[in-house]
Chains A and B, each alone.
Chain A
Amino acid sequence: MTTDIVLNIVLLSLMAITGLAIARLRNLFPVAMLTGLYSLLSASLFTLLDAVDVALTEAAVGAGVTTVLFLATFGLTRAREKPVARSRTVIGLVVTVLTGAALFYASLDMPHFGDRNTPVQDHPLRERYLSTVNEEIDVPNTVTAVLGSYRGYDTLGEVTVILTAGIGVLMLLGVAWRRPDKRKESDR
């Protein structure tokens, strides 16, 4: 238990340091690397919280794919942040502090960390899923059963969203690969 707390504190402080470093850097290549590191740290945090499914996704998407997409984008745009006038950074700071304060205030309404009297623990639906999943579906991983069967409609919707997002990106950017040779000549 205490090691958990120590690990949580270490990971969260490392994430905060990474966030500050991202905010300070002007060159965007290290920023892409640091966002990858940030994702890896949060994946470790999810593993600590026993949310291994989320951790897997975060490690692969956040630390892997997104970093690569950032780097690919820098190939198309600039990889250096433009300096901004001081007056505008002040406005940005004010907005960030206000938003942060609002989020912090909202977090006070959330149940305490590890509280056993939360809806997740108390709600009758939890009992329903956990007790009947063995008779109805009989797979040990209840998460898969809930996502795939009890909440099948939602998952179908999510997959459709992913497909739609992919189609959108292909329609916006994918035209070029129909004639790759022509583009290469005009670009280089």
Chain B
Amino acid sequence: MREHTVLRVITKLLIAPIIIFALYVQFHGDYSPGGGFQAGVVFAAAIILYALIFGLAEARRAVSPDVLRITAALGVLLFAGTGVYAMLEGGNFLDYDYLAHDAIHGQQYGLLLVEFGVGLTVVSTITSIFYVFAGRGRRTNEHET
């Protein structure tokens, strides 16, 4: 798709707003619809759009598959780690009341961290799956229409 100037220009214009919208959905999820999963999916869609227009190699250079594997696990680790930290502070597993001095603040910090973990895992997993599917050798099927 390198030769399609219109697509390239429009994509360049679109990717930044898509990513900002994903971050908004991620960190504003306490106040408006959305949360980690939705944000992760929208973010992954931005990366996939980039890969479609500018090529897989370019996208892999921008967002490395090796990093994605680590961040996919890191997201779950952050989620579970928040739960374990609450245990260390004297509560039950995933009881965010104990994350801060004030129970309500603790809950809000907990939600923020946990949603971030969800988003991290979702964006990494979906992008990795796309990389794997798109990266398999493409056979040219000449008998296809």
Contacts and interface: CB of A to CB of B under 8 A. Distances in A.
Interface of A: 27, 52-53, 56-57, 60-61, 64-65, 68-69, 72-73, 75-76, 78-80, 135-141, 143-145, 147-149, 152-153, 155-156, 159-160, 162-163, 165-166, 169-170, 173-174, 176-177, 180, 183-184, 186-188
Nearest to B110: A149
A176 B76 contact: no
A177 B83 contact: no
Interface size class of B (residues with CB under 8 A): 35 or more
Nearest to B38: A56
B130 A65 contact: yes
Interface class of chain B by DSSP:
helix
B125 A60 contact: no
B137 A183 contact: yes
Given A72-B130, A163-B72, A139 B117 contact: no
A163 B129 contact: no
Overall SS of chain A's interface: helix
B35 A147 contact: yes
A79 B73 CA distance: 34
A73 B133 CA distance: 7
A52 B132 contact: no
Interface centre among A27, A144, A165 (most CB of B within 10 A): A144
Interface string B8-45: 00000000000000000100011111110110011011
Contact of B125 (A27, A145, A156, A163): A163
Nearest to B30: A139
Contacts of A140: 30-31
Contacts of A69: 129-130, 133
A64 B96 contact: no
B144 to A, nearest CB: 5
A183 B55 CA distance: 18
B142 to A, nearest CB: 12
3 pairs of A and B residues whose beta carbons are closest in the complex: A187-B137, A166-B125, A52-B33
A137 B107 contact: yes
Given A52-B33, A56-B41, A166-B128, 9 more contacts: A56-B25, A60-B44, A64-B41, A69-B129, A148-B115, A152-B96, A163-B125, A170-B129, A177-B132
A53 B125 CA distance: 20
Contacts of A56: 25, 33-34, 38, 41-42
A79 B141 contact: yes
Contact of A137 (B111, B132, B134): B111
Contact of B134 (A57, A72, A166): A72
A23 B38 CA distance: 30
Interface in B41-82: 41-42, 44-45, 48, 52, 65, 69, 72-73, 75-76, 79-80
Given A72-B130, A72-B133, A165 B125 contact: yes
